[in-house]
Structure 1
């Protein structure tokens, strides 16, 4: 079997998705997610101009060698654009391998390690009361874990909080919008949210929260310590992770579990965090961390240090990434939880899936490969629309982490 064609499909059924389709001379094809939110066209160019031409004529079963060819063979390694492109290729090749074998992806990885996959939903509101109402909706749907975010008094807009009752989509404008952020107002208010959730829903509900890189280490330590009494499942991305030593300070002050990694592109981004046991959950994604081939190495390293997986699963990842992640979740021994933001009906019409949700848990299905496909004709009806993520400024105008 040889690869005969590799093409990139860009569509926007409510938001932009980039899909790579790899075809073979035996009629078997595989698809991979290549979406990089707000930078989609950069990955498209990298695939079309540099990587796809080198795929033609190769044996698609040689996944490891192809991965190494594109990673080691490039002098300019790593980075979000390059690793997203490699991930798309890797995912599509695993899809082909599963179809050829007549087996679902999780069986190729070694078989399932659990019966079902716990996922968490998102609940947000402009204030605590509206957030509680959204949490109740998730609980009614069967979710056992919910990420909670709410508006902050005196702050016009806050990460994770939707506008006008619509589903939250951070890439909200053709060019980046600017938000104003106050760490002080946030730190003084957000513990009240967790108190309210516990009072309303008791101790059995798993509570998660995303800080979105906005604190300094000592500020994150303060927050982690103050919310210990509410037993969060995790506190996510409390500081930027470029300085991995910064997490030592946070760890010294709190027993609140820490999660990080959705922006990581390689095992080197999280190696010290894992080896020094500074985090409890690694959130790297199939699409941004080099695909199944590298994600498996990250998970194996994490298992040695009691770190569990908690993969990113927002709607800026296509259903292809979600389906692939669920197969990985089914297999990986050190599974923790899987994020789930439901794609819209418009999005799900473009992508067919075999995964199923019931009472707070997913199963990936038994379709050979990862079980997700794209309707190219329907995708063509949704042309690309540039959409950028916002930027943040402090109240004095200083540019800050969004």
Structure 2
């Protein structure tokens, strides 16, 4: 029996803060998992170090499902982003080990390829409309066939989406979160117009996506969805906070624009109603926040029964280890939809060296055993943790709003 001999938690910040789990077996096989929870990284690191790691030593490394149940059911206090991210990291590392032991890529252990590559979408942005439209063109020139378009709002300071083309949503340095502005009425007036400008310039021969980022009521989301139906969006993402899942019935009644939800949800129970009542078209739970490969596959299997496709979160707030694990599922499931893709900063690849590669708007997977990602621990030491926060948003009268 090959047992877990050691489990290390590595926290580093090569461009972004990342929490990485390294599991080493008794015969020396190493597996990697991503335990990053953006803005709450040390909470997961502490949960792992203080509570999870002691329970892993001596366990059979091959019993992935049993270990998942042990960490989930055995904790009594279940679910939530910290717990599920910690479980995910262990789960992914054990799948990496299983692939290396079998000398096969993880996707082969999951049933093999259902497609040759993975469709991804890029993030076009701009400080203003003209810059954003030009950035969409940049992605199309690179061969992308699916592009998400975001820009700021005139008269609303630092509104979500108002960042320079080519940049990422990096958390702000400093002791407190950056405070940004928000105005839903301005958004409902301006966002359909700037999305229409993209279609007017580039036409309809590519998929156009848009992130609403949880900021509308269900009624407002229905109005937004109707206003962009002629633009044929691939999806509108997170139109309203998903805690009130009843609200999605109202959105469904008012628009045929496809809905994508789930990047902040952590388990199959969080998305059960959304899927089984067909209130969404794409489920966006991520491998690192929804319990790893083992649990995310359960979510996708449930979704397949109800004509819901995958669209996993894959921004640069997760490491290349996470993306490699997501891709292993993407390429095997029958109800794959699309994968979010943001290129990591070059400095990130000093620590994380993935085998997957982007060609145009598709990602091709490595055939290396396991996940095909190498992690340079010595390089990681050069990038110590830096406390950072995602922004918060306020209305003009000071009311705190959903960022």
Q: TM-score, normalised by structure 1?
A: 0.99
Q: Give the match for residue 172 of structure 1.
A: 172
Deviations along 1:343-365, one digit per CA (max 9) or x if unpaired, are 01100121111101112111221
Q: CA RMSD in A?
A: 0.9
Give 1:2-401 correspondences, 5 Å limit: 2-163=3-164, 167-174=167-174, 175-401=176-402
How many Å apart are 1:169 and its aligned residue? Answer: 2.2
For residue 45 of structure 1, give the secondary structure of its aligned residue in structure 2.
Answer: helix
1:178-237 CA deviation, whole Å, 9 max, x = no partner?
Answer: 111000011100011111111111111100000100000000000000000000000000
CA shift digits 1:131-187 (9 cap, x unpaired): 011111111111100000011110111223325x66122411332111110000111
Write out per-residue CA displacement over residues 53-74 of structure 1, whole angstroms, 9 at most, x where no aligned residue. Answer: 1100011100000000000111
Distance 2:382 2:52 in 1: 26
1:255-279: CA deviations, max 9, x gaps?
Answer: 0000000001100110000000000
Q: Note if contact 2:168-2:316 (Cα within 8 Å) is conserved in structure 1.
A: no
Structure 1 stretches of at least 4 aligned residues deviating more than 4 Å after TM superposition: none
Contact 1:11 1:383 in 2 (8 A): yes
Question: Do the aligned partners of 1:161 and 1:168 also contact (CA within 8 Å) in 2?
Answer: no
Please tell me whether the aligned partners of residues 281 and 307 of structure 1 are also in contact (alpha carbons under 8 angstroms).
yes
Structure 1 unaligned segments of length 5 or more: list them. none
TM-score normalised by L of structure 2: 0.98
Supply the distance in 2 between the matched residues of 1:60 and 1:162 (Cα, whole angstroms).
44
Does the CA-based 8 Å contact 2:316-2:342 persist in structure 1? yes
Aligned length: 401
